[in-house]
Structure 1
Amino acid sequence: MSFNFEKYRQLLNEVDALSDQLSQLHSGHMACKKGCDLCCIDYKVFPVEYYAIRDSLKTHPVELQPSVDGSCIFLKDHSCRIYEHRPVICRTHGLPLLFMNDDQWELSACELNFTSFDDEDFSTENTFPQDRFNSKLFLINQEFLKENQLDYSEFHLIDISQLAADN
């Protein structure tokens, strides 16, 4: 079965553009670099992301690693084996994320970043609007499920590690 990932790839381009912009803006506070893998865990992703990664593995096969203590199966020698095809959640880690939680805005950032940055200095202009992009991803996933007649609920998430069994 062949899937159309055009809208998903457009979303990834948007996420990458904003992530790059924020990374440059906060470059003095970002400790993220090759070898830093605290955030590389076995995430659950929407089917559209799961199938996009599965599709990329057909043309860009990689050696899968056993998950150790919940680590990502694509992590090898502290490096992501699917970096160009990684899901949205992996593209935003380390950045200051702004999201709504229990009717109030919350800020999340990697514990290794922004160690000398005052939380009061964060604003909507210098944080990643996680809810906006998650909403777009949710809608793209809904459309993907409907167009491809896949038998998942719109809220279903799939462990990335399941790709080892599907590969």
Structure 2
Amino acid sequence: MRRRTVTAGGLEELLENTAPAERGEQAPPPPAGEGRDQREPRTEFPFELPRGYVDDNGTVHRTGSMRLATARDELRPQIDLRVKENPAYLSVVLLSQVITRLGTVTDVHAGVVERMYATDVAFLQDFYRRINSEGHTHAAVTCPLCHGSFEVDLSGGRLGES
């Protein structure tokens, strides 16, 4: 980078005409949908719980989102005292780290996951496995009546909908 001498009055003009990288800044991200690589991997996945989390006010929260887990997310529960005392608690701690939103609840912690219905926790455990191992939320299913095979997206829609 070359040195420039600028008067106080010319500093603003220089900054306006200098590229962000030359100023030591990152360029602002392009507006949503513009200049974005469509092959960019998804890191957050929406979901809808079978029953829903009921908060202290009685509000039912059914939709939410889960981010991909990092190595740190998977290692951190191993040193958690609650997990050492009860290994079954591992999934509670792990899910509380990767769920980013549950309805209007944005502070999802172990206490929230503890109060969820078992069916919702089982759903979230399977959802976690799918997005972190398989990279998607689709499941191949077979109709018990007609034996037709098809694929459903577990992330959205109510049970029984595709």
TM-score (norm 2): 0.24
> Of the two structures, which has the highest relative contact order with CA contacts closer than 8 Å and spacing of 6 or more?
1
Question: Counting helix residues as a fraction of each chain, which structure ranks higher?
Answer: 1
Question: Counting strand residues as a fraction of each chain, which structure ranks higher?
Answer: 2
TM-score (norm 1): 0.24
